[in-house]
Structure 1
């Protein structure tokens, strides 16, 4: 991190509003795998010692994304994997391709390194020439639009980046909600994964990076010791093995996302999404709509804080009952 850059970089707004009864502003699964609480309690006694190397977590993560265990670098959430990658790849003289609209922390982390984010519309990112850029940030699916490029198109872009020595940071925080395979283990790629979203446990800070070759070695060397707590590693291993839970979640999210899209499309413009959220253009300043919903105990994400979005809200996909309540409330505004 570049010390001189710290004072000039602002914080980024995020979703999550625990003060309301129905929080559609954060994209976390409203359900968690069976047995998670018991695993957490059992790990508390082991937390009296330092973590033992994360072997079980690495094996579980590797099996989940289809890579070798030694390629997995445990981190305190996906955000820590993103920062670790940028810190080890980017210098103060670097340019980094950053999509827009997208997660605001990408550009913030680049600026904290003293580097320059080169903003590109997400829909044009795979057509950009990556030469002369140290890194490309590629979220799959993208937040807040929910767009997910075809895997073959992603691999073709990675090949182009690799040919000019540009590292690709693929943020797969929401990919687990889809059936598209991970890019984990692909040369020239660092994959950042989070267990926050899919398994509904943002407070435990469970995540990991996956990288190969020289970049992987640099991440292994640079990661902080004891990067994840013992309970988090135990719960993470448990969740990553919960294949039936993941399958049920994917089906529920697909079904409910389609229902939200269909119900809201008669009044608003709803972007096609492969993620556990939908981006809704309400056609005007969304402030009054958000305030009206909040008075009914419902929070949605103000998407005008993302670049290129002025009249949008983002709505997380939750349980069928909660989604029905949101539909009724939003159509009555």
Structure 2
């Protein structure tokens, strides 16, 4: 008896489909002449791929677009090519200036509150001068020193822009009269009356700032009276409920505004800075890059007068030294 396999008829083209060679890896056998493959349909004119003559020259490839420039204004980046990281020492110094300014502003507030209304009443504004010295044992190899100046309460010390303009004139007069050896911390022509008044050898100037007790709550004399009126009415309120603020400029171009607000929301440190406070971030949008040009007329005037004082001190104290 013939089995089905033995009796399997040949394929359509004379190839047994059960033959082991009939697999996907083998090319199909050519059809016999008696069973030609149907001709491929020829598309009508205007359809299909156009005939390309052998003499045809392929157009040149489109030029590769250039690498886009570094981030737009408002982005603080490590460097133009991304290879040189931001100096972590400057970012750390900015944070140290923030902490030091808040602490000095708090001390300024306590002293002004305790002396309010007395013969030794303290004015609402204070000057801060920042210096650094080499300190190999510190995390970033430097130590911050701060000298400050408080003024007694008087009409001459009540308006901050005017006070800063006068300090610029004082610094210029001292430079002209004493010469290259003058320092704002020296006994002769001193600009400070508290803080770090004696510096280690080799310390250098890195910035200037101001502490003020005026805030969006009102002028210092107004809020100080409110504090006492609340106590007289039996409402609990202390000086630590009052705000304060600081302005600072550093020699690397940093501008800092510190809002010391006891009622700030969690996560808000009240700091605005035109440069990064976190050098580990490669790039980020900084909405405060030009914040010194914003604000009301008095705020912009404070920045202008502080900048003039900073320029005078930088030109004199860092002459011949890279800042």
TM-score by length of 2: 0.25
Structure with the larger helix share: 1
Could you say which structure has the greater relative contact order, defined with CA pairs below 8 angstroms and 6 or more residues apart? 1
TM-score by length of 1: 0.25
